[in-house]
Amino acid sequence: MSKALAPMLILTFARRGEEDAVGRAVSLSHELGRQPAAVGTGTSTPSLTAAGVEDIIAYGEGSGARSVVRELRARRAEEAAVVYWGPGYGGHLKLELLALASGARVVHRILREGKGDRVGRGALFRSVVWKSARATLTVAASGLLCGTAWLFLQASQLVGGRSANRV
C-alpha cells in the first residue's frame, strides 16, 4: 500500500474566461498523480467544482487570510499552480504570495491562453519582490504627485486666490 501524495494547490480568481486554464491546472494535477485542492470564494466555488475540484478552501465569509494560510499549509502540498488572467505573468501578487505561503516547492504558472511554465520558490519569490517594489513605487509616485498638486493649490491661494473676484 503506497502513501497518498499531497494534493496540488490551484490558486485562481476563477474569473469568467479562466475555465480552460483552471481545467488545464486540474488535468496537470491528475497527470502528476495528485488530487487538486483550491482556494476559492463564494463566487469562484461553482466554477472550481465544475472543473472537478472537490477540496476548496473557502476565503471570505468569516475566514480571513490567516485561516486560509493555515489551511493551505495543513495540505502540505509540494506543488501548486497559479492561474494567470491576462497575457504573461503580470498581476496576481496575492495568488503568488499564497503559493509561497503554502510551502509548495514547485509552482506551475498557467496562462489563460498558451502554455505556462514551472518555477521554483526562488523564482516565485523574485516575482513577488519585483511586483511589490513596483506597487510601492507606484504608490510613492502617486503620493508625490498629489502632494505637489496640493502645494501648488496652496501657493495659488497665497498668491491671488484670496483677492479673486467672486461671481
Whether residue 90 is contained in a domain is answered as yes
Whether residue 45 is contained in a domain is answered as yes
One-letter amino acid at 93 equals L
Burial 7-32 (b: 16+ CB within 10 A, else e): bbbbbbbbeeebeebbbbbbebbeee
The CATH number covering residue 34 comes to: 3.40.50.2000
Whether residue 35 is contained in a domain is answered as yes
Whether residue 164 is contained in a domain is answered as no
Q: At 1, is the secondary structure helix, strand, or coil?
A: coil
Give the tens place of pLDDT for each residue, 129-166: 999 999 999 999 999 999 999 999 888 888 765 555 55
CA 134 to chain centre: 15
Identify the residue whose cell numbers are 465544475.
Answer: 50
Q: Is the pLDDT of residue 77 over 50?
A: yes
Give the tens place of pLDDT for each residue, 54-69: 998 877 766 677 888 8
Taking the model in full, what pTM does it have?
A: 0.77
Number of domains observed in the structure of the chain: 1
Instruction: Identify the pLDDT of residue 150.
Output: 93
Whether residue 132 is contained in a domain is answered as no
Whether residue 53 is contained in a domain is answered as yes
Contact 126, 97 (CB under 8 A): no
Instruction: Identify the pLDDT of residue 157.
Output: 82
Whether residue 58 is contained in a domain is answered as yes
| End-to-end C-alpha distance for the chain, whole angstroms | 88
Instruction: Identify the pLDDT of residue 88.
Output: 67
Whether residue 37 is contained in a domain is answered as yes
Q: How confident is the model at residue 2 (pLDDT cuts 50, 70, 90)?
A: very low
Instruction: Identify the pLDDT of residue 42.
Output: 79
Average pLDDT, integer, range 27-46 = 88
Nine-digit cell string for 34: 495528485
* Domain region containing 82: 8-126
Instruction: Identify the pLDDT of residue 10.
Output: 92
Closest by CA to 55, choosing from 29, 89, 78, is 29
